[in-house]
Amino acid sequence: MDKVLQCAAFDLGASGGKVILGAFDGERVSLSEVYRFSNSPILLGDHIYWDFLRLFEEVKKGLQLVHKLTGGKIASVAIDTWGCDYALLDRYDHLIENPYCYRDSRTHGMMEKAFQRMPRAEIYARTGVQLMQLNTVFQLLAMAEAYPETLDRAETFLMIPDLFNYYLTGKKVCEFTNTTTTQVYDPFTDDWNKPILQAMGIPGSIFPAIVRPGTILGDISAWLGEELGIRPTPVIAVASHDTASAVCAIPTIQKDSAFLSSGTWSLLGHEEGSPVINEYGAKNNFSCYGGVCNSWLIWKNIQALWLLQECTRVWAEQGKPYSHEDLILIASQAKPFGPILDTDDILFLTPGDFPMKIAEYCLRTGQPPPENDGAVVRSILESLAIKYRHVFDRLQEVTGKPLNQINVIGGGSRNWLLNQFTAEAVGLPVKAGPAEATSIGNIMMQLMALDELDCLSDAREVVQVSFETATFESCKTEAWEDAYGKYLEISTKSKVFNA
């Protein structure tokens, strides 16, 4: 390639967003962070929302910055976000209300109501999606129950990244990977799941066409380009579910390895060539989600570093602003194998004073609470490693394959202490990195859409030569086995929201 191709990845997570510029010279890709902004749920009355209008303003700022930085020579842009959440447009294409956050309490009890309309086993068999109260289907059922007039006004349903793409291009479509997180997608017909929609009383007419990752939606709308003073730029629907994008960036993935996308949530799974929906997946509540290039991702959601993020927020408000390095240091100095937490306990689903919630959980499960902040952090990290062990064992049952390595990607791959704990708890080597996997995968998919890369294996070879990784060797001990046994006992006392 005679010139460097530049693509912009807009990666929005549940705690913040960033704009990453990827420069591809034909062999390697290099990253530069252009812009970063905060994102947090907004509590308004009894409900929790995302502040979409502010987030779109942040996206517009990012667009202006990347065009200024590149002199307008930008090949394409693309957006990825979290899954499950959605927005509704009315017949005038106006946003009816700010999107609800998946942590909103309106979904409490909705799974039980849904199972009265369609048996739990049938919902899973029709979708292959892990049953969690935060899933789109239960959010929609909650709206149908409490605010049916809102659904009556709805003309178009869009997932969060699709809503951004609509305001960027005017195209109303739903991208495949995020669509598969809704539990109203049918993997057998590649369409919206009409029996489930009918059973839940959700109008099927509001759901638009589904497009595959790598679809070029068109240029940024003329009105937006004029407002921002930027040139026409292609917008690409990449793997808009952030985990699907992150899995794209696993360097030369092995067939017998698992992936662990580590962040606010952890997604522990395996990449397959076709959907895997079976009795083991149903029993262990695994998801079968869509990936790129006809791949399918079999994983289980684990509520993960969210606990540490909430603790850090509370401590900062108390005048203790711990850095990432500080947290690892105080955890490494704390006494090992204190209280064991099931991080998926419903107590940890909603925001709040998490040091206090952890103490409450310990008392409820007959354990002494952590003695200090370092003990809290270590308890979270050790509990996560043990949870990974439990889910990893179940993953092998679901896939029917022995797996011998874990590839950790995402921001959590920077946490060397958690990586080491994971290698010790699972008893297998852990390969960590790249940390910016979601943005990298977003950019790789843009390059494939632009015909700069031929296939997913080519993209992964580029990642392999472009970014460093670290390996953590396993050294399984009796202490970890004892801790795992304690987890199995404690977890029976938990009220798990995604059991």
Of 212, 242, 272, the one marking the end of a domain is: 242
Same domain assignment for residues 233 and 374: no
Over the stretch 118-154, which tens digit does the pLDDT of each residue have?
Answer: 999 999 999 999 999 999 999 999 999 999 999 999 9
Over the stretch 240-254, which tens digit does the pLDDT of each residue have?
Answer: 999 999 999 999 777
Same domain assignment for residues 285 and 429: yes
Same domain assignment for residues 236 and 326: no
> Does any domain span residue 143?
yes
As for how many domains the chain has, the answer is 2
**Across-strand partners of 235?**
77, 218
Of 221, 242, 263, the one marking the end of a domain is: 242
Over the stretch 252-268, which tens digit does the pLDDT of each residue have?
Answer: 777 899 999 999 999 99
Confidence check: pLDDT of 1 > 90: no
Q: Which amino acid is at 374?
A: G
- CA triple 413-159-54, angle to 5 deg: 80
Mean pLDDT, the chain, rounded, equals 96
Q: How confident is the model at residue 497 (pLDDT cuts 50, 70, 90)?
A: low
The whole-number pLDDT of residue 477 equals 82
Of 242, 275, 310, the one marking the end of a domain is: 242
Same domain assignment for residues 81 and 205: yes
**Across-strand partners of 291?**
none
Q: How confident is the model at residue 491 (pLDDT cuts 50, 70, 90)?
A: confident
> Does any domain span residue 304?
yes
- CA triple 131-298-139, angle to 5 deg: 30
> Does any domain span residue 449?
no
Spatial CA neighbour of 6 closest among 338, 424, 439, 446: 446
Contact 308, 327 (CB under 8 A): yes
Same domain assignment for residues 478 and 373: yes
**Across-strand partners of 24?**
5, 29
**How far apart are the C-alpha atoms of 324 and 330, rounded to whole Å?**
10
What's the full length of the chain, in residues?
499
Over the stretch 208-217, which tens digit does the pLDDT of each residue have?
Answer: 999 999 999 9
Over the stretch 446-455, which tens digit does the pLDDT of each residue have?
Answer: 999 999 999 9
Q: Whole-model pTM?
A: 0.93
Q: Where are the beta strands (DSSP E) in 126-208?
A: 156-159, 174-175, 185-186, 191-192
> Does any domain span residue 64?
yes
> Does any domain span residue 446?
no
The single residue of 80, 104, 242, 344 carrying the catalytic annotation is 242
Backbone angles phi, psi at 128, to 5 degrees: 70, 20
Confidence check: pLDDT of 81 > 80: yes
Same domain assignment for residues 97 and 224: yes
Over the stretch 292-305, which tens digit does the pLDDT of each residue have?
Answer: 999 999 999 999 99
Assess whether 186 carries a catalytic annotation.
Answer: no
> Does any domain span residue 147?
yes
> Does any domain span residue 462?
no
- Region 18-45: mean pLDDT is 96
Same domain assignment for residues 296 and 229: no
Same domain assignment for residues 193 and 322: no
**How far apart are the C-alpha atoms of 374 and 49, rounded to whole Å?**
32
> Does any domain span residue 319?
yes
Same domain assignment for residues 144 and 274: no
CA 210 remoteness from chain centre: 20
The whole-number pLDDT of residue 475 equals 79
**How far apart are the C-alpha atoms of 187 and 172, rounded to whole Å?**
21
Q: What is the CATH number of the domain that holds 353?
A: 3.30.420.40
Domain span holding position 146: 5-242
**How far apart are the C-alpha atoms of 39 and 242, rounded to whole Å?**
15
Same domain assignment for residues 302 and 217: no
Over the stretch 312-362, which tens digit does the pLDDT of each residue have?
Answer: 999 999 999 999 999 999 999 999 999 999 999 999 998 999 999 999 999
